[in-house]
Amino acid sequence: MDHLQHSAAARRGGQPASDRVATPWLALLAGPLSYGIAGPALVLDDVARAMGTGEQTAASAVTAFGWGIALGTPLLAALLARRGVRAVLSVATALMVAGTVLLVLSPNVPVLVVGAAVQALGSAGLTVTAMKLADSARRMGVVTASLAVVGSTGPLSGALVADALSWQAVLALPLLAVLAVPAARRGASPREAAPASFDPLGMALLALLVTAAVLTPHRPLVAGPATVALLLVLAARTKARPDGFPAAAVARNGRFLGACALAFALGVVNFALLYTAPELLREHAGWDGTRSGIWLLAPYLLGGFGSGFLVAASARVPHRAVAAALLAAGAAAPLLAAATTVVPLLLGAMALGSLAASTGQGVLALRAAGVVPAAHEAEALGLFNLAYLLSVAFGPAIAVMLSQ
């Protein structure tokens, strides 16, 4: 792992661009994305009442956000590879502002869904840029810990903001990330981009694949087979055009695919537990939404802050040992939550799931970027985050279905 970090820094040549952007700005650039995932957890009933619909329909905005960040991450990573940091920051900021305006002014569910998707595209661009600029385990740990910490405070922050202002203000919280854009622009070199092939057909196939995958939890009989078919078509295309998008050097790299698969599994567990937690605590402890949000701070903050230290420490541990530990923790968390009605053990399961997912995101992102050729590093980070963030669409949807 240490070798992967040093090689990633060496690829940039000379002084890494990320050294010119202070680490706290990278954390602010990435962290607010988690408000779009976790912020609505305790206010979906408010959104449903305002829109005159059911909670499951209102949750489609969260699904749309998951679709947007899953799709936006590889596409804006491709833009990052072609045009550099400053171009991505400009496009992502515009998307963030436009999406937030739609969310705040949305008169109905369709507009709400479109706004969430557009906002998520921008959030994805800012987050993948922050991860590209994080060139060491320590800095990557801070970035991924910021995502986890914001996610841990998201349900309570959302409830408090909704009480003080409105549910629309909760949906606007991801916009806080644009506060870090000026610092990132100042620190980014205007010539960071490298020549990269442009493959619109490959991007279109990937967009269809992401859409089908996101719809799979809701329409499994239709979207499931479509996902498999599109995956096979995209795999065949990478063989026919190795320099297309995604590049064969990334999409056919076994170590890269293994990192993506593990990150996705850990994310599904974490986000499913996050959305299941309020119902479990209401059932077993009789707590309302606000009290649940307060108590959930402890396990998710533990997972978020702890992951920062664990990602940094992972540089000194063999990757196979780290992967085995992550897999064991990710499997233990849902089993513990399902087997117990004791509140401290439930909270322990939440902490374990959060710690495994946020640590895995940082450790496995470094792994994914380090096992591909230097020219494909940005693309690899984008596709890796696609795999992780697809779990945002699956986790909450699974939790809502289980609670019916």
In a domain, 218, yes or no: no
At 150 the pLDDT is 87
In a domain, 214, yes or no: no
The pair phi, psi for residue 339, each rounded to 5°, is: -90, -15
CATH assignment at residue 97: 1.20.1250.20
CA distance 183 to 392: 28
Candidates 329, 214, 186; CA nearest to 266 is: 329
Q: What residues have CB less than 8 Å from 321, skipping those under 6 apart? A: none
In a domain, 226, yes or no: no
Q: Is 358 helix (H, G, I), strand (E, B) or coil?
A: helix
The token duo for 284 is 């077993």
In a domain, 10, yes or no: yes
CA distance 57 to 110: 10
Structural domain span for residue 149: 2-199+241-403
CA distances from 208 to 111, 166, 213, 285, 337 (A): 21, 34, 9, 43, 34
Q: Domain tally for the chain?
A: 1
CA distance 71 to 387: 10
- Rounded to two decimals, what is the model's pTM? 0.79
In a domain, 303, yes or no: yes
* Tens place of pLDDT per residue across the chain (404 aa): 444 444 444 444 434 444 478 889 999 999 999 888 878 877 877 888 888 777 777 777 887 888 888 888 888 888 887 788 888 999 999 999 999 999 988 888 889 999 999 999 999 999 989 988 887 778 888 888 888 888 778 877 888 888 888 888 999 999 999 999 999 888 766 655 555 566 788 888 988 998 898 888 778 889 889 999 999 999 898 888 888 888 888 888 999 999 999 999 999 998 888 778 777 888 777 777 667 767 778 888 888 888 888 888 887 888 889 899 999 999 999 899 888 888 889 889 989 998 999 899 888 988 888 888 877 888 888 889 888 878 877 887 777 676 66
At 213 the pLDDT is 87
At 172 the pLDDT is 92
Give the end-to-end CA distance of the chain in Å, rounded to a whole number: 43
In a domain, 222, yes or no: no
CA distance 401 to 382: 29
In a domain, 113, yes or no: yes
CA distance 21 to 27: 11
C-alpha atoms less than 13 angstroms from C-alpha of 122 in its C-beta half-sphere? 28
| Cβ-contact 73, 129 below 8 angstroms | no
At 11 the pLDDT is 44
CA distance 32 to 175: 7
CA distance 229 to 234: 9
In a domain, 233, yes or no: no
